[in-house]
Amino acid sequence: MTGHAGPSLKENLKDAGAMALASAALALPLVGFLTVDRAQTIVLEYRFGELLYAVAVIFVGRLLLLLANQGHSPAVLVATGAFSVLWAANAFLGIVAITWPALGWLTWIVFSVIALRAWFFMYQAGRRVKQDASDVAERAGTVIYRLGKYLGPALAAFALVMPLMPFADQRMVDLGILVLTYIMLGWGLNVVVGLAGLLDLGYVAFYAVGAYSYAIISLNWGLNFWETLPLAGAMAATFGILLGFPVLRLRGDYLAIVTLGFGEMIRLILLNWDELTNGPKGMGGIARPSFFGMPFTAAPPEGVTAVHQFFGLNFAPIHRVIWLYYIILAMALLTNWFTLRIRQLPIGRAWEALREDEIACRALGINPTNTKLTAFAIGAMFGGFAGSFFATRQGFISPESFNFLESAIILAVVVLGGMGSQIGVVVASVVLIGGPEWFRDLEAYRMVAFGALMVAIMVWRPQGLLAHREPTIHLRGRQPAPAVAARAPAR
Amino acid sequence: MNQAPLLRVEHLTMRFGGLVAIDDVSFDAGDREITAIIGPNGAGKTTVFNCLTGFYKPTIGRLALHKAGGREFLLERMEGYRIGQTARVARTFQNIRLFPRMSVLENLLVAQHNRLMRASGYTLFGLFGLPVYRQAEAHAVDVARYWLDRIGLTPRADEDAGNMPYGDQRRLEIARAMCTEPILLCLDEPAAGLNARESAELNEMLRFIRDEHKIGVLLIEHDMSVVMKISDHVVVLDYGRKISDGTPEFVRKDPAVIRAYLGEDEDEALPPEVAADLGSRG
């Protein structure tokens, strides 16, 4: 790459200048002006300092990218990498005060991406093979898949011991619960979208059905968590089938629109059916899970032993959080086991075959309606389980928790992770749910960073982070039967 | 013998609005025979297939399939997937329809779905890995291996079907159809896009299927070298109507077929100014 004479410095500067100018024009109204509500009048404030800063970052970034492209990758890598490391170290150790932390973090992200890019160029040049990017991405996917064999158990082991680690405070365990809930929802939706290829934009409806079933059953009949859980799951599965029957004849975009409508319908019913759901006020006082019948309360009623008394500990609210964490971990792992197992069964293969070609499936004598319905029902059931957990964890539910944004986030977890990939869902949940929590320093720019991340993934890995698909069965390593006679078909 | 033929098509008519795609076509396809349906483009051959395999409901007509043992299925009354499941008619497609992102072996296992579903107790036994299911799966893999050996894809069984060369995909699709254990195999232009050697291999395979597996084969084909070499019986369609029916030798010499393929007496058929134009050039 270094051999031929690249564009001169002047040309590079011109290119970067043009880029900076264009972004300045775009950013002027977005970043440059800020309306502030002050004493009943709206005042316009100017943020030209920030604007100038952003444009400067774009100019320098573009220049560095161009240089990296033209064979100066090592220098660019060293410069941007050093900046990123130093800045991050400063941010955590607090040596030099930072005026604009949000902008600083954005700059850090930009420079880190450029550093990655430069490394990528070096990697390509080092291989001395001209490969197109998708091939490299596919290879990277394969490598990650191989690591995935160890990554899965490693993550599971980490998840098992995480709440017991010294660094695990209540906030951390709570975040863990949130991430695990989305992992479970992602795995449930993965059955529908990733395996069966049915684009479901209303998955949150089943989450809501599960949560409300749990709340209504436990409030009216006083059943405990473990008794109610299967009922709520069955309820959600029933709704999955009810929805499935009329709409599964539709395909692709049409199915997506109908499921989107179904999600909204459920939310509106929950909002308006006051007698059953208490409408927009929501349902409170939902039973918390107990530890084998023992409550997690500081002062248990007469004759009841609380958990901290049983173990001889001092009461701490984190005990319940940890117990909730293990419940959702167990539920998520069960979902994972079930999905991995069912993928290798005829029904799972039929789902994937339906995703690939429905017409061919029909010609092979597979009943497409039943097959899709099972996928829908099983996906809905896991959504219902997760919903029950949500209800018992919050103790309060209202229709607001089940809006379209939730469906979109769950779908984003599946798509970004790589459709059909179990470990991909884990990685994507950690990034998408955990990430915004870690990037709290970015303040209002948090969602910008989130969006930038999504765009970056879609540009570099449009098929998802871990899209590698491993066959469900291998011929290699299987012994042929001693005598496979030519068989005439049974008639 | 006065036995009913494997497939008897009677007065099959298919209309799409005002367009008559097939007009009162009747023919038989025999057991252990290769029956070819030929005809110029747009003659309605694929429409016949789509009626037979339940993708279209015929406007008029009776499609009777006779199984050994005397059972009769009226295909025009059956739901699409049941034709494959119960009546055991399998088909391939003009534009190959494999499951491209599943492995070759998985393609062949999906074809054995219904048997495996029963063996897995509709998933319940399979979930807990009961021996009943494991045996059924091993058997299904053996069936798949048998066909893989036949089409020479055993070494590549674990690769994605979409990565196979074109000719292999064609044969894999036939093997997949055979894994459903059909009694009638319908092939929609299996030789399309194959070179001479692949075409010869295909002929070999179709003969093998007819002779060893003792089933009926129904074939749509443009490639006359395939049709004339291996068919036992040829049906010729033109503009939705049957114009000839008989052995390859008979059809080859039938004036109606020659007219359909080569056109009528050209001077009469062409408008006068076009004929004059052609004449002045010649």
Chain B residues touching residue A481 (CB < 8 angstroms) = 138-139, 142
pLDDT of residue A489: 43
Tell me the percentage of chain A whose pLDDT exceeds 70.
89
The number of C-beta contacts closer than 8 angstroms across A and B is 151
Q: What is the mean pLDDT of residues A414-435?
A: 85
pLDDT of residue B187: 92
Tell me whether B174 touches chain A (CB under 8 Å).
Answer: no
In this complex, is the C-beta atom of B111 within 8 Å of any C-beta atom belonging to chain A? Answer: yes
What's the angle, vertex CA B176, arms to CA B173 and CA B180, rounded to 5? 140
Q: Is the pLDDT assigned to residue A269 strictly greater than 90?
A: yes
Q: How far is A368 from chain B (nearest CA, A)?
A: 8
Confidence check: pLDDT of A481 > 80: no
Burial class (CB in 10 A: 0-12, 13-18, 19+), A253: exposed
pLDDT beyond 60 at A483? no
Q: Which of A350-354, B60-64, B112-116 has the highest mean pLDDT?
A: A350-354
Q: Which amino acid is it at A337?
A: W
As a whole number, mean pLDDT of residues A60-73 equals 83
From CA A370, how far away is CA A351, in angstroms rounded? 10
Mean pLDDT value of segment A177-206: 92
Domain spans, chain B: 1-88+182-282, 95-181
Q: Which of A349, A359, A363 sits opposite B106 (nearest CB)?
A: A349
**B114 and chain A in contact, CB less than 8 A:** yes
Residues A8-45 pLDDT 10s: 788 888 888 998 899 888 888 877 787 777 777 878 88
B 138-167 residues with CB below 8 A of A? Answer: 138-139, 141-146, 148, 154, 157-158
Q: What is the pLDDT of residue B271?
A: 61
**Chain B residues touching A363 at Cβ < 8 A:** 53, 84, 90-91, 93, 97, 177
pLDDT of res. B282: 43
More confident residue, A314 or A336: A336
Per-residue pLDDT tens for A397-406? 999 889 888 8
Digit-coded pLDDT (tens) for B174-209 = 999 999 999 999 999 998 888 888 888 899 999 999
Contacts of A346 in chain B (CB under 8 A): 109-110, 112-113, 116-117, 120, 123, 126
Using the beta-carbon criterion (under 8 Å), do B84 and A362 form an inter-chain contact? yes
- Percentage, residues of chain B above pLDDT 70: 92
Tell me if B13 sits within 8 A of B24, measured CB to CB.
yes
- Of the spans A88-97, B233-242, B270-279, which averages the highest pLDDT? B233-242
Minimum distance, in Å, between the CA of residue B242 and any CA atom of chain A:
26
Residues 216-275 of B with CB under 8 A from A: none
Mean pLDDT of chain B: 86
Q: CA A304 from chain center: how many Å?
A: 40
Nearest CA in chain A to B119: A346
Q: Which residue of A has its CA nearest to B117?
A: A346
DSSP A303: T
Chain A residues touching B97 at Cβ < 8 A: 357, 359-360, 363
Question: What per-residue confidence (pLDDT) applies to B92?
Answer: 93
Query: Which segments of A273-367 does DSSP mark as H helices, in order?
Result: 274-277, 307-310, 318-343, 346-356, 358-363
Residues of A at the B interface (Cβ-Cβ below 8 Å)? 338, 341-342, 345-347, 349-350, 352-353, 356-357, 359-368, 374, 469, 471-476, 478, 480-481, 484, 486-491
Of B53, B170, B50, nearest to B107 (Cα)?
A: B170
B235 — pLDDT class (breaks 50, 70, 90): very high
Q: What is the pLDDT of residue B259?
A: 85
| List of domains in chain A | 9-130 (no CATH), 157-283+318-460 (1.10.3470)
Q: In A, which residues are within 8 Å of B101 by CB distance?
A: 356, 469
Minimum-distance CB partner of B105 among A359, A362, A475: A475
**Which pLDDT value is given to residue A308?**
77
Task: Tell me how many degrees the CA angle A250-A252-A257 measures, rounded to the nearest 5.
Answer: 75
Q: Which of B102, B138, B215 is nearest residue A356 as measured by Cβ atoms? A: B102
Q: Is B48 on the interface with A (CB under 8 A)?
A: no
CB proximity B88 to A under 8 Å: yes
Banded model confidence at residue A156, pLDDT cuts 50, 70, 90:
confident
Tell me what pLDDT residue A140 has.
64
CATH T-level topology, domain B95-181: Rossmann fold (3.40.50)
pLDDT category of residue B107 using cuts at 50, 70 and 90? very high
Task: Check if B1-88+182-282 and B95-181 are the same fold.
Answer: yes
Nearest CA in chain A to B52: A363
Whether the pLDDT of residue A377 is over 90: the answer is yes
Asked if residues A393 and A178 have their Cβ atoms less than 8 Å apart, the reply is: no
Q: Is the pLDDT of residue A281 over 90?
A: no
SS3 B71: coil
A106-141 pLDDT, tens digit per residue, is 788 888 888 888 888 777 776 655 455 555 656 666
Assess whether pLDDT exceeds 90 at residue A477: no
- Which region among A150-159, A226-235, A401-410, A436-445 has the lowest average model confidence (pLDDT)? A436-445
Would the CB atoms of B154 and A475 count as touching at under 8 Å? yes
**Residues of A in Cβ contact (< 8 Å) with B137:** 473
- CA-nearest residue of chain A to B184? A489
Q: Return the residue of B nearest to A488 by Cα.
A: B213
Contacts of residue A480 in chain B, CB cutoff 8 Å? 142, 145
Give mean pLDDT, residues B21-37. 90
List alpha helices for B40-130, DSSP H. 45-52, 80-85, 104-110, 113-119, 124-127
Inter-chain residue contact B158 with A481, CB threshold 8 Å: no
Top pLDDT among A318 and A187 is at A187
Tell me what pLDDT residue A138 has: 61
Q: ipTM of the assembly? A: 0.86
pLDDT of residue B98: 93
Tell me the C-alpha distance between B62 and A295, whole Å. 71
Q: What distance in Å separates the CA atoms of residue B163 and residue B141, rounded to the nearest whole number?
A: 21
Which is more confidently placed, A491 or A468? Answer: A468
pLDDT of A68 > 60? The answer is: yes
**Confidence at residue A187, expressed as pLDDT on a 0 to 100 scale:** 94
Homologous superfamily assigned to B1-88+182-282: P-loop containing nucleotide triphosphate hydrolases (3.40.50.300)
Answer yes or no: do A480 and B212 touch at CB < 8 A: no
- Rg of chain A on CA atoms, in Å: 27
Question: Which is more confidently placed, B104 or A226?
Answer: B104
The answer to whether residue B128 scores a pLDDT higher than 80 is no
Query: Which one of A142, A339, A364 makes the best mutation probe of the B interface by having the most chain B beta carbons within 10 Å?
Result: A364
Give the per-residue pLDDT at B275: 60
**pLDDT of amino acid A490:** 43
The answer, for B116 touching chain A at a CB cutoff of 8 Å, is yes
Considering only CB atoms, A345 lies closest to which of B100, B111, B126, namely: B126
Interacting residues of A17 by C-beta distance below 8 A, sequence separation 6+ = A59
Nearest Cα to A203, choosing from A180, A187, A223? Answer: A187
Across residues A160-175, what is the average pLDDT?
Answer: 83
Give the pLDDT confidence score for residue A90 in this predicted structure: 79
| Partners of residue B114 in chain A, C-beta under 8 Å | 365-366
| Mean pLDDT computed over B262-281 | 61
Name the region of A420 (left: φ>0; alpha: ψ -120 to 50; beta: rest).
Answer: left
Residues in chain A within 8 Å Cβ distance of B133: 345
pLDDT of residue A1: 41
Q: Does B15 touch chain A (CB under 8 A)?
A: no
